[in-house]
Structure 1
Amino acid sequence: MASERSFPVITGIAARLPGGDGAEGLWRAASTPGAYAAAPPSWSKRDLLEAVVDEALAGAGFPPGPPRTGTGVAVVVCAQADARDSATAPFLHGANTDVLSTRAGRAPVTVVSHACATGGFAIRLAAQRLAAGQADVVVVAGASVSDPMEEMSLEAVGVLATGAVRPLDTERGGMAVGRGAVALVLERAEAAGARGGGGTIAVAGTACLVKPSRAESDPAAMGAVLRAVLSPADGTGRTRVDAVCAHATGTALGDAVEFGELASLGEELGWTRVPVFSHKGALGHLLHTSALAGVAHAAEAMRRSLLPATPGCAAPLAEHPAVRVSTERSPARLRRVLVNAFGFGGNYACVLLETSGYERELVDD
């Protein structure tokens, strides 16, 4: 098992979502069925990105002005890599990096685009940069604002709901596109500790896979990425989890495949009724930014020792000996949570979060 101090830690979380801002606002919004419908029409990706990057760095304890660190700060933006997108097109051409925040200065900006798994890929890239010493601080940010082309494409493949969004429900009928922005500040644990920045939730593992396919979920690819994050090639098996923040958007096929693969994996690993939850019935599907919302939501649940419910789910999928759908918020000791993010075209990503001192807690148990 790699030392926990080698894992990057989350030191800042910021959000702009219907129903609330910041980590507290995200927590409230993620528990409110249909919150996605209240997004202001005036929101723009550019303004949202600037706001959340600035607030995430402030929340991490950095004073006004560019962070002063040994190797500096880097920014990773989750976006649709499309020149039509006026908010992110400048980043694709290496210009206007100051648009994100004066706090970030002229930090190098990288745009990542892997459909709805983008956030997971971005977090993996951030962790790799920190491990390689290329930066002391990496801000991962993304924004989702209604794009007619995106919604038309989702409508064309028949995945948009005509009524309430009901993830992991036997009567689910599709997803809703969410609107908002999330930013996470990741730091090497040693660097965060040295400046007194703390950080009690670590990114203990990531796994990403691209297997070109059509829109539908590929069970084999999904299973492969799940196994990769819990049984990495370095032999540091991390098979035990306390909960899963599912990708589950409310689609008929996607939710069933994901829950089925979690059940199969859980059976192999000896899980017992591990709770699976989704916030998509509240926040909607934030597309390229969805994994960041998932990680932020899971981190808040771990910090609060509260297992989230699954808003919109009234008739949960049949319980399996290994996994069950969480339908009620309840107190829980959440020390390791798996976050899933899957996208059209064969993009799959998983992020494993872990509390500081997790291995010592296992010994105490």
Structure 2
Amino acid sequence: MSVLITGTGLVTPYGPGTRRFWDGLLGNALPPVRDRPGTAPFPVRGISYEIEGSPRRLAMLDLALREALADARLPSVPDGALVIRVGQGPEPGRPPDDHAAEMLDAWPWEHPLIPASCEQVHLSHACASGAVAAGLARDWLSGGLAEVAVIAGASALNGYELLGMHVSRALTASRPQPFDRARSGIALGDGAGALVLEAAGHAARRGAATDIDLAGAVSRVAAGDASSTDPEVVTDCALRAVREAGLTAPPYVHAHATGTVQGDEAEIAGLERLAERMGWDGVPVSSHKGAIGHLMHASAFPAVTAGVYALRERLAPGTPGLADPEPTRRLRLLGGAAPCDATSVLVDSFGFAGNSAALVLTRRRESEHG
């Protein structure tokens, strides 16, 4: 059974909306890095979005959910749908204190557009959470357990995650520069995302967009070094996702690429190994994190959205902030947008503790979706 992506919603430092995000990427726009006082005993520095409402993460999450549902032409989440929320969860029986409120998620998610009849799941697989959730939703729908799944998550700048990245020596003191020789680490970002997935038959019957297929979804937890990306795992996840989709080479790869020295190096090595094994040559690769920072558990939402737009507009976005790319053999690291007759996109997603995932999106021909 085909599983389609029928709705996307985003809030990023560019502002609310997937189109703002996409236009910002194409224009190589760089939202400012800011300090947010009051979210911790020390200023929290990152790429933020100013939004009214508290907690800020729930305000952003609400906007993303509403946009995804509107994009899917749904007035609300349907009865009986699967709802997956990705992020950190509070310790059972212990409410978060003020400083943790912007990081931790209450569960279940009470929202006027989510009926009580929905099956709610909370999933946490570090920065691969959104992509792992997409694979779970795909399996759920393929197995006939529901006809619609909604995935959502948010990241709000907070002292807890900032301190965690500081302790792991992952933070940059300037701006993130994924794939650049001068890269020095990640910057945290504000944002939220939501996806609506549907069984193809259900989407067609109600007149939703049926052109974007989640054709491959592979996840793996393979912890070696808890804070390092393993090139072999990069290769393995991508290879299995591409094969699951029935492909040999995607015309575009949207990389995880956070801007850390080790992580980007490992991802390039893993993709180069896969490219050599499968005969790729000159495949364009880029990442959004140089512009909007790292949305942590929610980082897959802008990546998938970039993939959807790349398929529909036949453009591969560049990597904002990339000036001096690492040398590659079979990959083409994009500094700016480039024409790309993409019929498929590979999306990489990696996190601490060996949490890894890869998704393949394909665009169906007109004859297939009407």
Using the size of structure 1 for normalisation, the TM-score is 0.88
Contact 2:16 2:63 in 1 (8 A): no
Corresponding residue for residue 154 of structure 1: 165
Aligned partner of 1:32 among 29, 32, 35: 29
The answer for unaligned runs of 5 or more in structure 2 is 34-46
The answer for unaligned runs of 5 or more in structure 1 is 1-5, 361-365
Give, in whole Å, the separation in 2 of the partners of 1:154 and 1:42. 26
Please say which of residues 73-82 and 305-314 is displaced more in the overlay: 73-82
Contact 2:250 2:346 in 1 (8 A): yes
Deviations 1:129-165 (A, max 9, x none): 1111111111111100012111101011111111121
Corresponding residue for residue 187 of structure 2: 176
RMSD: 2.0
Corresponding residue for residue 77 of structure 1: 85
1:251 and 2:251 equivalent?
A: no
TM-superposed CA distance for 1:66, in Å, is 4.8
Give, in whole Å, the separation in 2 of the partners of 1:325 and 1:358. 30
Please say which of residues 252-261 and 325-334 is displaced more in the overlay: 325-334
Give, in whole Å, the separation in 2 of the partners of 1:89 and 1:20. 22
Deviations 1:278-324 (A, max 9, x none): 0100010111011121001111121111110110000011131x211
Deviations 1:65-93 (A, max 9, x none): 5536xxx32211111133335575431xx
Contact 2:87 2:105 in 1 (8 A): no
CA gap 1:29/1:15 in 2 versus in 1, 3 angstroms: same
Deviations 1:238-271 (A, max 9, x none): 2220010000000001001101110111011010
1:268-287 alignment to 2 at 5 Å?
268-287=277-296
1:219 and 2:228 equivalent?
A: no
The letter of the residue matching 1:9 is: L
1:1-365 alignment to 2 at 5 Å?
6-30=1-25, 31-34=28-31, 37-40=47-50, 44-63=56-75, 65-67=76-78, 72-83=80-91, 84=96, 86=101, 89-91=105-107, 95=108, 97-99=109-111, 102-106=112-116, 107-213=118-224, 214-232=226-244, 237-320=246-329, 322-357=330-365
TM-superposed CA distance for 1:351, in Å, is 0.6
Give, in whole Å, the separation in 1 of the partners of 2:258 and 2:193. 18
Using the size of structure 2 for normalisation, the TM-score is 0.87
Percent identity over the alignment is 33
Aligned residues: 341
User: What secondary structure, in the 3-state scheme, does the structure 2 residue paired with 1:114 have?
Assistant: coil
TM-superposed CA distance for 1:35, in Å, is 5.2
The letter of the residue matching 2:142 is: A
Contact 1:277 1:309 in 2 (8 A): yes
